[in-house]
Amino acid sequence: MPEGHTIHRLARDHRMWFAGRRVVVTSPQGRFDAAPGLDGSRLEDTEAFGKHLLYRFSRGRWIHIHLGLFGRLTTSATPKAPPRDTVRLRLANRDWYADLVGPTRCALIDAADRAELLARLGPDPLRAESRPSAAWARISHSDQPIAALLMDQRVLAGVGNVYRAELLYRSGLDPHLPGRELREEQWLELWEDLRRLMRAGVRANRIVTTRRNDRERVTGRVRSEDATYVYGRADEPCRVCGTLVRVTDLMDRRLYWCPTCQN
């Protein structure tokens, strides 16, 4: 679930449903200490930076959430169901409640913490003010493979294992190509494609990277098995050339790619 598009979608939805109103903040699991201090105060706004979600409260306080690999934030309409015992944080008002489960991080932070967080993130393709040059400065001087650079949140904020594999497939680039061997115009094309893919991801609230004509079924809702070119398709035939999709370990993550289309 959680790459940048998920977080931006949550920020957008929660701004609509929770911002500008008082919110009941509880921690059914008991592991979020700040809950009592914030409980009943007004949520001013939500923000998304890469995979980080922030809820702004008065007096320079934010709840900082990072879902990590298995975290989930689900929102439902009232009446409230009793929380399961793993719910770290529940935000609620009269109409809605959101339950956070299994996050890597859920903490109360101040303006300095927030500034520190933003300072260590690369440009987020989903934010209007982001510029690709900020990432290019690092990529163009790095010996790291482009597949590793794309997932490095200091280089680029919000890209995860699915988008990086799919982006590289769509561009025809070998994932192992060192950053310094990429040409600037290739990088700018990657950036544009990322924006396109991730914006579509926010809209649909899911990742779909296949072009219409490359799907087995062209009409109707995109089936999950048709949504990607290479991610999660190890040993299945490439949709374009038929070569078996390969999976390799790169920096402890599974990297999917087509050795024929990407070189």
Partner DNA sequence: GCTAAATGTTGAT
Partner DNA sequence: TCAACCTTTAGCT
Phi and psi at 171, nearest 5°, equal: -90, -10
Q: Record the tokens describing residue 160, joined without a space.
A: 């995860």
Q: CB–CB of 194/209 below 8 Å?
A: no
Q: Is 80 a catalytic residue?
A: no
Member of 26, 53, 54, 71 binding DNA (CB under 7 A): 71
Considering Cα of 112, then 4, then 170, then 263, what sign does the dihedral take?
positive
Is 203 an interacting residue with respect to DNA (CB under 7 A)?
Answer: no
The distance of closest approach from Cβ of residue 244 to DNA in the complex, given in angstroms and rounded to an integer, is: 16
Nearest CB to DNA, comparing residues 160 and 175 = 160
Separation CA 122–CA 21 (nearest Å): 32
CA gyration radius, the chain: 20
Please tell me whether residue 88 binds DNA under the rule CB under 7 A. Answer: yes
> Applying CB under 7 A, which part among 36-44, 134-142, 156-164, 188-196 lies near DNA?
156-164
Report the residue from 15, 42, 56, 72 that binds DNA according to the rule CB under 7 A.
72
2 belongs to the catalytic site: yes
CB of 175 to DNA, least distance (A): 14
Residue 159's identity, in one-letter code, is: V
**Residue 224 burial (CB < 10 Å; 0-12/13-18/19+)?**
exposed
Stretch that binds DNA, among 12-20, 38-46, 155-163, 215-223 (CB under 7 A): 155-163
Residue 22: both structure tokens together: 């008082």
Specify the residue, 12 or 254, whose C-beta has the smaller distance to DNA. Answer: 254
Q: Is 254 in the site for DNA (CB under 7 A)?
A: yes
Indicate which single residue of 73, 139, 162, 245 sits in contact with DNA (rule: CB under 7 A): 162
Q: Is 56 a catalytic residue?
A: no
- Find the binder of DNA among 102, 127, 210, 260 (CB under 7 A): 102
66 near DNA (CB under 7 A): yes
Asked if residues 8 and 202 have their Cβ atoms less than 8 Å apart, the reply is yes
Measuring CA to CA, which residue among 19, 31, 44 is closest to residue 105?
Answer: 31
Residue type, 59: R
Q: Is 103 a catalytic residue?
A: no
Query: Is residue 122 a contact point for DNA (CB under 7 A)?
Result: no
Q: Which amino acid, one-letter code, is at 18?
A: F
Sign of CA dihedral 169, 173, 176, 178: negative
Interface residues toward DNA, by CB under 7 A? 1-3, 6, 29, 50-51, 66, 68-72, 84, 86, 88, 101-102, 104, 151, 153, 160-162, 207, 232, 251-254
Residues recognised as catalytic: 2-3, 51, 253
